[in-house]
Amino acid sequence: MQIPENLRFTASHEWVAGPEDGVVTVGVTDYAQDQLGDVVFVELPEVGSEVAAGDAVAVVESVKTASDIYAPVAGSIEAVNDELVDTPERINEGPYEAGWLFRIRVADAAAVAALLDAAGYRRVVEDEA
């Protein structure tokens, strides 16, 4: 199971890359996609919408179940990965690359630094296993 050292994480299994020019990229972790199984459906937030940290802003559905995806930090939705609508399996194939979900223009860059680092997230996963 991959937990890249250069990313930040949430206890609800989102990863966060950046910020770069005030924008972070968000997806679900390798552990999360493995737990979900085959992803068959994705619902993405509207570009431009304002989100608070912890808001359920997207949905990833596997054959068996639907899972909410939460905004790791507050801000406005800058972009979404539209390609997932027709090829949701990219989340399984490359959760940290082609499977990214959305980008947030962050309100407060310090909120990103406060998220879990790779070691912290590894402990979350080990506690669940």
Partner 1 sequence: MKRTPLYDTHIALGGRMVDFAGWAMPVHYPSGIQQEHIAVRSDVGIFDVSHMGEIRVLGEDATAFLRFATLNDPGRLKLGRGQYNMLPNDRGGLIDDLYVYREKDDEYLVVANAANVDAVLAQLRAVAEAYRCHVVDESATWALLALQGPGSALLLGRVIQDDLTQLRKNATLTTTLSGCPVRVSRTGYTGEDGFELFCHPNDAAIVWDVLTDAGALPCGLGARDTLRLEAGFPLYGHELDATTNPLCTEFDWVVKDKPFFGRDAMWGAACERRLVGLRMTDRGIPRQGYQVFREGVPIGNVTSGTLSPLTRESIAFAWIDASAADEGTEIAVEIRGQQVGATVVKPPFFG
Tell me: does residue 66 bind partner 1 (CB under 8 A): yes
Question: 38 or 128, CB closer to partner 1?
Answer: 38
Tell me: does residue 63 bind partner 1 (CB under 8 A): yes
Binding segment for partner 1 (CB under 8 A), chosen from 6-14, 36-44, 100-108, 114-122, is: 36-44
Query: What is the footprint of partner 1 within residues 77-106 (CB under 8 A)?
Result: 92
DSSP string, the chain: ----TT-EE-TTSEEEEEEETTEEEEEE-HHHHHHH-SEEEEE-PPTT-EE-TT-EEEEEEESS-EEEEE-SS-EEEEEE-THHHH-TTHHHH-TTTTT--EEEEES-HHHHHTSB-HHHHHHHHHHH-
Tell me: does residue 37 bind partner 1 (CB under 8 A): yes
Minimum separation from the CB atom of position 127 to partner 1 (A): 19
- Which residues make up the interface to partner 1 (CB under 8 A)? 37-38, 40-41, 43, 59, 61-66, 92
